[in-house]
Amino acid sequence: MADYLVIVESPAKAKTIGKYLGKQYTVKASMGHVRDLPKSQLGVDIEHGFAPKYITIRGKGDVIKQLREASRKAKRVFLAADPDREGEAIAWHLAHLLDVDMSESCRVVFHEITKDAVKQAFQQPRRLNMHLVNAQQARRVLDRLVGYRLSPLLWRKVKKGLSAGRVQSVAVRLIVDREREIRAFVPEEYWTADAHFSLKEGTFSARFHGYGDEKTPLPDRASVDELLARVKGQAFRVERVKRSERRRNPSPPFITSSLQQEAARKLGFRAYKTMQIAQQLYEGLDIGAEGAVGLITYMRTDSTRVSEVAQAEARQFILERYGEAYRPERPRQYSTRSGAQDAHECIRPTSVRRDPESLQPFLNKDQYRLYKLIWERFVASQMSAAVLDTTTVEIAANGAWFRASGSIVKFPGFMTIYTEGQDDSAVDEGDNRILPPLEEGMVLPEPTVIPEQHFTQPPPRYSESSLVKAMEELGIGRPSTYAPTIETILKRGYVVYEQKRFVPTELGEIVVDLLVQHFQQLIDVDFTANLEKELDRVEEGDVDWIKLLQSFYGEFEKDLERAEQSLEHVHIVDEVSDVVCEKCGRQMVYKQGRYGKFLACPGFPECRNTKAITREVGVNCPQCGKPLVERKGKRRKVFYGCSGYPECEYVLWDRPTGQMCPVCGHPLIERHSKRGTTVVCSNEAKHPQPATAQASGRA
């Protein structure tokens, strides 16, 4: 038997670490947490200092038995769970169950699972950090108190099966508040007027800016007609040409929230999927001759700090692959936002020498795409700034001023490998537009002035990326909680995810209104953010976790008592559809599930008939002529099938545009790529090349 027992959370991590430690060490996995609060009761002794009542998690008996047997035979036990609050708590629970002496240095932590990092960590074991443990216990008890005291009230007053959470409820409120902002929005009309010039050297357009130096809006058609009359037949003269050099710096390396945001924008990954794949990359994957290797540093962090060793390696790599011009004179330093925990580094590859292409044969598609994103972001963060030559031209005609801007990339710098994605914002066309040679005093040929009517738009619904960003900026939760929080509010039916946007359900709005009315403090964004700061202070040893719980629970209990007395029963009436249940003849009603609305028979439980709600997409099946409808597959992937199914099995996996191909009569579809969206014929056998190549402008 080996002299030392090492316990980690997962078999993959055990395999990777075991390779580095040698025959003296046995590495086993706890399979995550081994103890937790019981599900059948509150599990917190409020009268005696909020003492948690921990029990062994169901199904973990055999794992604990094996760990106990191994620990009795080992000279020493090392607890090597992840380097955060949750990992420290897992180590503490294991120490209790295995009778590990907590006065000894039994805790081993490493930020990356590489040979050097693991060996160095085992040379410097430490004692368990009870401040970290208590911060995790405080969070766990807070969430249990809210969930197990508030949920029964919602069951009695609103609907059985409802639940509320400390962080989740605030996240739902953000989505509800945004939806109401959208509903209350009143569009305002405005116009733009673009002058299109044709020169020998090329064409370009300039947008009306104003009369004189003042920006002048065009609120209606009358103001547009006045402008057109004013410039008709007038000379258009180049009055000012401003040329400048602009530097664009790279984005900092990833932290948890920015990784989730960028993976959502560029890869279409949900937050939970991003974290799941990142965990695999961190714990280690078999990459051929090297065996199992941890490919990225720890993925739960809100620090942009980079170790000097990693930075030096990146700078040498940049010099060798891209040249001296692409490596800045001094290593780049990035400031970490206020309140962030700086215990860990940023998320980066454990070695930039392992470029994505060399690893592609050993990774699955999603692992490769996420690793490539992390690798490119990190390498770019250590590269030189991009340099752009920008030109702004101002053109006047009878006192009306038009403005055009453009730029060209003089030196690509970091943009050679990476540029950050955008959230709900239009691409700045001026960054990509190249203007023809223009000089001050030039008189241009009379342009075609084209006015266009617009209406102001409401703020967009939250995407997963923008919701994570909002939670981070407001201080709601911590990086490790974003993904589970989003999954929880979806599972509870408080919001649905439609067309990659979060939409609150009627139930979600009702629950938020009740909480705002009766638990103002609990659902207040600032209060939740301040509570997170207090949990951070517990971790730092500045606040006693029991006193924090006492302070919170005093007000919370008063709110519970008041709500019990004043909150009236809320009856949620199901909306009746015009669809008749074919099994019992009742009018089916709309129900809200995790993935959106569906039809259900009101005769439940006698009649359990349900139906998906189908939506016609505006074109007919080319095989049988019946309407095509939007459907969802087993993994919630949207597709477009014939409403005549199962007799007709025609299906499309890309969204139809509503138009038919003029050549063969099959539906035209939208085909998405990094360059944008093109419209092609769905009958690819007939049209191996795109039937049309019109860019839709949506990326």
Catalytic residues: 298
Residues 365, 420: contact at Cβ < 8 Å? Answer: no
Neighbour count for residue 575 (Cβ, 10 Å): 10
Could you give the CA distance from residue 497 to residue 301 in angstroms, rounded to a whole number? Answer: 26
Q: What count of other Cβ atoms lies within 10 Å of the Cβ of residue 668?
A: 23
Q: CA–CA separation, 525 vs 169, rounded Å?
A: 10
Burial class (CB in 10 A: 0-12, 13-18, 19+), 429: exposed
Token pair recorded at residue 489 = 């509010």
Contact 451, 228 (CB under 8 A): yes
**Cβ pair 221, 479 in contact under 8 A:** no
- In Å, what is the CA distance from 437 to each residue of 204, 388, 389, 406, 452? 11, 17, 13, 11, 27
Bin 541: left if φ > 0, else alpha if -120 < ψ < 50, else beta: left
- 597 vs 494: CA distance, rounded Å: 12
Rounded-to-integer distance, Cα 169 and Cα 436, Å: 55
Question: C-alpha distances in angstroms, 613 versus 269, 506, 509, 577, 643?
Answer: 25, 17, 22, 11, 12
Strand 638-642 with 651-652, pairing? antiparallel
